[in-house]
Amino acid sequence: MLERGENATRDMWAHAQTQIPGGVNSATRRIDRPLIIDEAKGAYVYDLSGRRYIDYHAAFGATLLGHADPIVSDAVSDAIRRYDLVGMGVSTLEVKCAELINDTIPSAEKTILTMSGTESTFQAIRLARGVTGRDLIVKFQGCFHGWHDAVSRNVISSPEKAYKMDPTSSGILMPNLEATLIAEFNDLVSVQELFARHKDQIAAVILEPIPHNVGALLPEQAFLEGLRDLTREEGALLIFDEVITGFRHAPGGYQEICGVMPDLTTYGKAMGNGFPVAGMSGRADLMDQFSSAGGSVMLAGTFNGGPASTAAAIATITHIRETDFHERVFALGDRMREGLRAIAARHGITACVTGYGSVVICYFLEHQPKGYRDLLGHNDKAYAEFHRRMLDHDILMLPMSLKRNHISGAHTAQDIEVTLEAADIVLGELKSEGYFD
């Protein structure tokens, strides 16, 4: 049996760093303390030292229903008892999964399956360039669309780098970065100016309909409608990256809510409740340009549509379509936001508590931010420290500024109240220590 306790945690963390670069397999997983996860169940995560956390990080929102949800686990178990990866033809699960997605996402006519949101946005951008014969892409400052070269710039940029060349990594060829243009969210004029400056060169505009990678910049309806009209007029494609908003905010994603239909939609994370599955859907005439249908845009991926992934997606999507899932988690989100607003007011802290549905963020700003420019005045130090100290109270929140929190189907009203009690203590401490002076 695995040894547990503080010493075991310290030893395992030291060992991890000798085996894995930095001890973690994704840089954002490394925080200011050893965190060795030993079990995850429902709304809770258990570490090797024996502590139980209420989990609002939720693997960046991937665990929509809660950890190890039996509906999903049972479906996956049934699938992998029937077959594993075959790699030729198409499985009945793949067909059922695609049909379910096409019936659920309003703009979807045909669908491909991938393993991650990064792969999905990669496929969408390559398809957009392939069908338009154009090179340039427009993305928005603050939006994140994965780690591939075409979009790996200008996410959480410092004030001196925002809107300028700000790669997220070394090792990327400069022409790849320069082929992606940067606009301001909720500012249609900034996009129009790019189209005027690069006439007939822009293949697509890609955006998170709610930029959750910097919390929750809520879109103006006129902005989304304006993007739809502009891209159509200019012969470019409109891509909604619903990797976070998809399935979490409505079965059909945010497009179901706003009524604006993109040409292509990418999704992942919550789609399979933590299993590695994602995809991309769109108009049939565009999707048929993939090489699988005789087109010129390569479609490949050994693990695309694997049985565990597709079974998890089918179970998750079916559950949220057939139950009151969204009504319940939206109500919990409303209670969390209401409680945080009251706590901030009681302590005299300037805060804008916002989000959408099951996503919650407490910006330390006076007003709801419209675009990234409004976030340049955010109190990043206080925000990261707020999340860091919530960990001390057994509340799992990523201690990094602008990172959102997620409520899953496994959270209860009692979990929310326990979290608010901890937030009251932590925000009171931060106020008394001068973090908001």
User: Once rounded to an integer, what is the mean pLDDT over residues 139-153?
Assistant: 96
- Look at residues 311, 230, 299, 240 and name the one whose alpha carbon lies nearest to residue 273: 311
- Write down the domain spans for the chain: 6-61+324-432, 70-322
For residues 314 and 96, the answer to whether their CB atoms sit within 8 Å is: yes
pLDDT tens for each residue of 54-111: 999 999 999 999 999 999 999 999 999 999 998 899 999 999 999 999 999 999 999 9
What sign has the CA pseudo-torsion 358, 393, 274, 154?
Answer: positive
Predicted pLDDT of residue 4: 77
What sign has the CA pseudo-torsion 306, 312, 315, 320?
Answer: negative
Q: Is the pTM of this model over 0.85?
A: yes
Mean pLDDT of the chain: 96
**Segment (H or E) for 139:** strand 136-140
pLDDT tens for each residue of 221-230: 999 999 999 9
Report in angstroms the alpha-carbon separations of 246 from 38, 66, 153, 279, 382.
29, 16, 23, 11, 30
User: Once rounded to an integer, what is the mean pLDDT over residues 204-224?
Assistant: 98
Predicted pLDDT of residue 2: 67
pLDDT-derived band of residue 1, with 50, 70 and 90 as boundaries? Answer: low
What sign has the CA pseudo-torsion 110, 112, 117, 123?
Answer: negative
The CA distance from 253 to 409, in Å, is 17
Question: What tokens does 93 get?
Answer: 């699960």
Which CATH number applies to 6-61+324-432?
3.90.1150.10
Question: What tokens does 59 get?
Answer: 């693997």
Which CATH number applies to 70-322?
3.40.640.10
Q: Kindly compute the dihedral angle of the four CA atoms of residues 220, 222, 225, 229, in this order, to the nearest 10 degrees.
A: -140
3-state secondary structure of 126: helix
User: Once rounded to an integer, what is the mean pLDDT over residues 263-277?
Assistant: 96
- Look at residues 338, 384, 345, 381 and name the one whose alpha carbon lies nearest to residue 366: 345
Reply yes or no on whether the pLDDT at 258 is more than 80.
Answer: yes
For residues 351 and 344, the answer to whether their CB atoms sit within 8 Å is: yes
